[in-house]
Amino acid sequence: MPKTHLTDLLCKTARAPGAKGRVVLWDKTLPNFGLRLNTAGRKSWVVITGEKRALKTFGAYPDVTLAAAREQARELLSAPPTTAITCKEAVDLFLAACGQKNRPRTISEYKRHLERHFIPKLGKRPLASIETNELAKLIDGLIRTPAEQNHAHTIAAIFFKWAERRTYVNVSPMSRLQLPSKLTTRERILNSEELKAVWLATEPYSTHNAIVRLCILTGQRRGEIGSLKWEYFSSGLCTLPGKTTKNHRTHVFPILPMAQAVIDQIPNTGAFLFQGRDDKGKSWQGWAKGKRALDEASGVKDFTLHDLRRTASSQLAALKVQPHIIERILNHSTGTISGIAAIYNRHSYLDEMREALQTYETHLATFLNRE
């Protein structure tokens, strides 16, 4: 159903098409509210409500102005639907539905944010009774962690929009809330001394330490390293299937000696290199505790594991590795090879990637072993 921004001028000038029948101009500002036009020139306000998505007429234009109609529509749409479902029950259904189209890592993030920030306070409440100001208060409570706050806001908006489509709520209570924080793109790159400190802090072996070392050595995303499976490795190569990568493309990259030495230390106890602590069907998830220990041991401040990826890219560039080879190593979606060239250029660049990573490992070994 096409939508538009209803304005006083549009409501005044809009006319139904010449063919018999009716047309509704649905409002982008307020979901499920619109102006119905017929060929006789009459105009009336409508909303869609209830489990069966019934069309309800509640006034004629211009007797009822746009502003008054919007206010009345909000009242009609805010009436609790007959479906009595709790927030926790709806979240469970939402996560199950996501399993049909989203990657496991995405579902895990949805689950983490909803269960950490919303379920403790709202889980037992009827979903339709939850109001905008309650959600705003919970999200405002995350102001000290802007990235977490933005993620919680975005995931709550996705969840309640799904609930609206399922008619568990008439209108998403998140629809009026704006993204709380404007985040700037990080530019943090660790210098050689910081990188050495982080590397030395990853002794002795632990799951988190092994993940950090592989992030440093391969330049891959932390989530992709954390969810590695033994079956991805063969003949000195690691093949990440498209369902696990950010851009949904299969990614193949070489494993060089320093990276292989890290992998050789990892005990094979299940499908994943880094098994979950309790559930052998899931990968390891102890990121926060591991990062706190790493920060304390290394003394390096204000960095994320993703900054190690940016650092690897910068180090490779400093070693005169060609930009398109760096992009291949990092599995970037865009860059020097894009558009039609990206479609027809099927050269894997494995030899060039292997040479670049060997140069990079040699460089790392030199300054990591320097007194």
Contacting residues for 307 by C-beta, under 8 A, at least 6 apart: 186, 188, 189, 190
Name the pairing type of β-strands 54-61 and 233-234.
Answer: unpaired
- pLDDT (0 to 100) of residue 325: 94
What's the rounded Cα separation, in Å, for the pair 255 and 358?
A: 9
Q: Where in the chain is the domain with CATH 3.30.160.390?
A: 3-78
Contact assessment for residue 296 and residue 197, using Cβ atoms and an 8 Å cutoff: no
Average pLDDT over residues 191-214: 95
Q: Which residue has the higher pLDDT, 20 or 123?
A: 123
Contact assessment for residue 331 and residue 238, using Cβ atoms and an 8 Å cutoff: no
Mean per-residue pLDDT over the chain, rounded:
87
Q: Where in the chain is the domain with CATH 1.10.150?
A: 87-165
Q: How confident is the model at residue 253 (pLDDT cuts 50, 70, 90)?
A: very high
Q: Which residue has the higher pLDDT, 56 or 5?
A: 5
Average pLDDT over residues 314-334: 91
Q: Is the pLDDT of residue 94 over 50?
A: yes
Does the 87-165 domain belong in CATH 1.10.890? no
Domain covering 3-78: architecture: 2-Layer Sandwich (3.30)
Q: Is 8 exposed, middle or buried (CB count within 10 Å of its CB: 0-12, 13-18, 19+)?
A: exposed
- pLDDT (0 to 100) of residue 54: 73
Q: What is the pTM of this model?
A: 0.60
- pLDDT (0 to 100) of residue 343: 43
Q: Where in the chain is the domain with CATH 1.10.443.10?
A: 192-368
The CATH code belonging to domain 192-368 is 1.10.443.10
Cis preceding linkage at 62, omega within 30: yes
